[in-house]
């Protein structure tokens, strides 16, 4: 065969291999990676529906001990969690032993201790489900229902990096005030027949309390991560300035990712890919407020980026804030496993999975329908962005194989 003919054949083979990779990683089932990710997806689907009122019956361990043992360097809970419904039920029903003002932050919250000594963060309801938060994409109060929805989206995406969250109704008169600290009690007041409190935080004001309907307050409870896993706070490399007229470097420098890649912990290990996963997660939920993030301490860059504080989400279903995706479209890379999962959730599968997962929660319906439709629409935008990267630089430079599983201690 002449050299010219050989070159033509070689080019044709390389083209077919490239197209095959795009096909297999675009919802196909032929590659080992796709088959593995499909099996994981089916496991997620099988465990998505949770039973209300589930209880632990096969162990002497408390639900808090079980949840604590789940935590590892790369996951808050494992792929298979048959006890999850029972742990969430305990979160939503356990007796409250103590109530105090929340830890440091800008938004109203309370720190509760449940029966057995388990700490949780309570975020109160501020808006009705159909309320639209106008203005900047990070505007408004925290949304308690967003914390619940974000946790279940974390399950569906297979990240498993968000602390456990459940909705709960609390009676402020009988469950909170008798066990509240003086500091928290001093922030209680009445507005008409409704009991309210304003807590202590940077933006907490007596003129802007959260109010119950009578004595019953709806909110979310987030399970505190075990003390044996201390957290380390990091400034997000794609954080906003929050100052009018002042842009962060990433907002005007399209080559910014190249600079990030030279900085630890983004120059090695899984952290940069975690940031990109998080950008996809935040874009889907409409969270433009991740100015910092947490990992576990002394991790050498190996710890996951923990998906804490997701309450500035699901504020405006009509707003698709593309700048949230900057880590994805500037770095033009994404995990193979993430790409495969996103493709399996196309064509309405994402919103359908969310409806199924959220049906369990005590504050159901957790999301209004426009927000569920927005998830499917935004997913299409993420997939289109990745495809643009593949067209520009090829799938080999865009789709990164990174399945880092560290053993539990």
| Residue 223 marked ligand-binding | yes
Instruction: List the chain domain ranges.
Output: 3-30, 64-223, 231-400
| Residue 372 marked ligand-binding | no
Q: Given a cut of 50, is residue 39 above it in pLDDT?
A: yes
User: 302: pLDDT confidence band, cut at 50, 70 and 90?
Assistant: confident
Compare 314 and 23 and report the one with higher pLDDT.
Answer: 314
In this structure, of 51-55, 76-80, 102-106, the range with the lowest mean pLDDT score is 102-106
User: 336: pLDDT confidence band, cut at 50, 70 and 90?
Assistant: very high
| Residue 262 marked ligand-binding | no
Token pair belonging to 324: 């949230």
Q: Given a cut of 90, is residue 104 above it in pLDDT?
A: no
Which residue matches tokens 């399970």?
A: 223
| Residue 123 marked ligand-binding | yes
pLDDT digits (tens, 9 = 90+) for 149-184: 999 999 999 999 999 999 999 999 999 999 999 999
In this structure, of 21-30, 110-119, 264-273, 305-314, the range with the lowest mean pLDDT score is 21-30
pLDDT of amino acid 28: 46
Q: Given a cut of 70, is residue 20 above it in pLDDT?
A: no
| Percent of the chain whose pLDDT exceeds 90 | 81
3-state SS, 99-129, equals EEECCCCCCCCEEEEECCCEEEEEEECCCCC
User: 31: pLDDT confidence band, cut at 50, 70 and 90?
Assistant: confident
- The mean predicted confidence, pLDDT, of the chain is 91
Q: What is the average per-residue pLDDT within 19-29?
A: 46
| Residue 142 marked ligand-binding | yes
In this structure, of 225-229, 380-384, 403-407, the range with the lowest mean pLDDT score is 403-407
Helix 349-358 to helix 369-393 angle (10° resolution) is 140
Query: What is the C-alpha to C-alpha distance for residues 267 and 262, in angstroms, rounded to an integer?
Result: 5
Which residue matches tokens 């889907």?
A: 284
pLDDT digits (tens, 9 = 90+) for 176-209: 999 999 999 999 999 999 999 999 998 999 999 9
pLDDT of amino acid 402: 77
In this structure, of 54-58, 141-145, 295-299, 321-325, the range with the lowest mean pLDDT score is 295-299
User: 245: pLDDT confidence band, cut at 50, 70 and 90?
Assistant: confident
C-beta separation of 305 from 365 below 8 A: no
Residue 222's DSSP bridge partners are: 121, 165
Which residue matches tokens 């409806």?
A: 355
- Strands 118-124 vs 231-235: parallel, antiparallel or unpaired: unpaired
The radius of gyration of the chain's CA atoms, rounded to the nearest angstrom, is 23
pLDDT of amino acid 63: 97
Compare 50 and 15 and report the one with higher pLDDT.
Answer: 50
Query: What is the C-alpha to C-alpha distance for residues 165 and 146, in angstroms, rounded to an integer?
Result: 10
Give Cα 19 distance to the centre of its chain. Answer: 32
| Strands across the sheet containing 188-191 | 188-191, 194-197, 210-211
pLDDT of amino acid 58: 82
| Residue 328 marked ligand-binding | no
Q: Is 361 a catalytic residue?
A: no
C-beta separation of 376 from 2 below 8 A: no
| Residue 26 marked ligand-binding | no
| Residue 229 marked ligand-binding | no
User: 395: pLDDT confidence band, cut at 50, 70 and 90?
Assistant: very high
Query: What is the C-alpha to C-alpha distance for residues 6 and 163, in angstroms, rounded to an integer?
Result: 56
Q: How far is CA 346 from CA 26, 66, 327, 343, 357, in A?
A: 10, 33, 22, 5, 17
Of 289, 298, 299, 402, the catalytic one is 289
| Residue 309 marked ligand-binding | yes
Q: Is the pTM of this model over 0.85?
A: yes
């Amino acid at each position: 065969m002449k050299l010219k003919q050989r070159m033509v054949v070689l080019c044709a083979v390389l083209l077919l291999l490239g197209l095959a990779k795009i096909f297999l990683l675009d919802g196909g089932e032929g590659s080992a990676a796709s088959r593995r990710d499909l099996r994981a997806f089916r496991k997620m689907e099988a465990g998505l529906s949770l039973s209300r009122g589930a209880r632990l019956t096969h162990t002497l361990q408390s639900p808090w001990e079980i949840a604590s043992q789940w935590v590892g360097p790369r996951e808050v809970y494992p792929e298979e969690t048959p006890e999850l419904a029972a742990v969430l039920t305990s979160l939503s029903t356990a007796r409250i032993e103590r109530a105090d003002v929340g830890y440091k932050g800008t938004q109203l919250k309370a720190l509760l201790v449940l029966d057995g000594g388990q700490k949780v963060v309570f975020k109160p309801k501020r808006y009705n489900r159909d309320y639209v938060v106008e203005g900047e994409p990070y505007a408004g109060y925290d949304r308690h229902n967003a914390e619940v929805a974000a946790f279940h989206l974390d399950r569906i995406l297979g990240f498993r990096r968000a602390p456990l969250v459940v909705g709960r109704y609390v009676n402020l008169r009988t469950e909170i005030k008798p066990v509240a600290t003086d500091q928290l009690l001093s922030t209680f007041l009445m507005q008409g027949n409704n009991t309210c409190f304003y807590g202590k935080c940077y933006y907490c004001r007596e003129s802007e309390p959260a109010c119950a309907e009578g004595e019953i307050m709806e909110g979310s409870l987030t399970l505190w991560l075990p003390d044996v896993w201390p957290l380390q706070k990091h400034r997000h490399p794609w954080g906003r300035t929050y100052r009018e007229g002042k842009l962060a470097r990433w907002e005007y420098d399209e080559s910014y990712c190249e600079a990030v890649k030279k900085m630890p912990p983004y120059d090695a290990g899984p952290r940069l890919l975690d940031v990109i996963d998080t950008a996809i997660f935040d874009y889907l939920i409409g969270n433009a407020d991740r100015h910092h993030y947490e990992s576990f301490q002394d991790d050498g860059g190996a710890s996951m980026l923990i998906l804490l504080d997701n309450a500035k989400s699901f504020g405006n279903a009509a707003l698709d804030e593309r700048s949230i995706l900057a880590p994805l479209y500037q770095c033009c890379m994404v995990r193979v496993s993430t790409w495969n999962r996103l493709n399996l959730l196309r064509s309405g599968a994402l919103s359908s999975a969310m409806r199924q997962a959220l049906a369990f929660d005590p504050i159901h319906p957790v999301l209004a329908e426009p927000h569920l439709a927005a998830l499917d629409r935004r997913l299409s935008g993420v997939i289109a962005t990745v495809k643009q990267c593949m067209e520009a630089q090829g799938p080999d430079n865009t789709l990164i194989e990174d399945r880092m599983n560290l053993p539990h201690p």
